[in-house]
């Protein structure tokens, strides 16, 4: 199951939730592996390493999605900032002189 595409899989939050479920599933397998008496220690070690690499990969996917989510939030914030800039009528006269608010400085 790979949910790394840009377009698919629903919202980023639901993708992260699905990846967390996968991590929990792998963790459950790790616990079951510890209780498995049919395998010797070498086999258990190799399987545990495989599970650990799966967990690491899933965590990397989550980090990537969280980064993407943060970038989207930042873009949305920038977009809303550009849509709702400080009104010119409020800003004039504060740091920019107008006809009514002008200081003449003679040196």
Give residue-wise pLDDT tens across range 22-74.
999 999 999 999 888 898 999 999 999 999 999 999 999 999 999 999 999 89
pTM: 0.62
29 found inside a domain: yes
Residue 8: pLDDT above 60?
no
Q: What is the predicted pLDDT for the residue at 6? A: 47
Q: How many domains does the chain have?
A: 1
55 found inside a domain: yes
Nearest to 9 by CA among 52, 68, 57: 68
Enclosing domain of residue 55: 12-69
34 found inside a domain: yes
Q: What is the predicted pLDDT for the residue at 65? A: 94
99 found inside a domain: no
Cβ proximity of 22 and 1 under 8 Å: yes
**pLDDT band per the 50, 70, 90 thresholds, residue 4:** very low
Cβ proximity of 52 and 23 under 8 Å: no
Nearest to 13 by CA among 64, 69, 57: 69
3 found inside a domain: no
106 found inside a domain: no
Percent of the chain with pLDDT over 70: 70
33 found inside a domain: yes
64 found inside a domain: yes
């Amino acid at each position: 199951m790979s949910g790394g595409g840009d377009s698919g899989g629903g919202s980023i939050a639901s993708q992260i939730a699905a990846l967390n479920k996968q991590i929990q599933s792998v963790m459950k397998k790790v616990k079951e592996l510890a209780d498995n008496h049919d395998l010797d220690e070498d086999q258990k070690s190799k399987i545990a390493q495989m599970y650990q690499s799966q967990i690491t990969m899933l965590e990397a996917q989550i980090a990537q999605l969280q980064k993407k989510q943060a970038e989207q939030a930042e873009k949305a914030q920038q977009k809303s900032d550009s849509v709702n800039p400080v009104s010119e009528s409020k800003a004039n006269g504060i740091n920019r002189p107008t006809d009514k608010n002008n200081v003449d400085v003679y040196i």
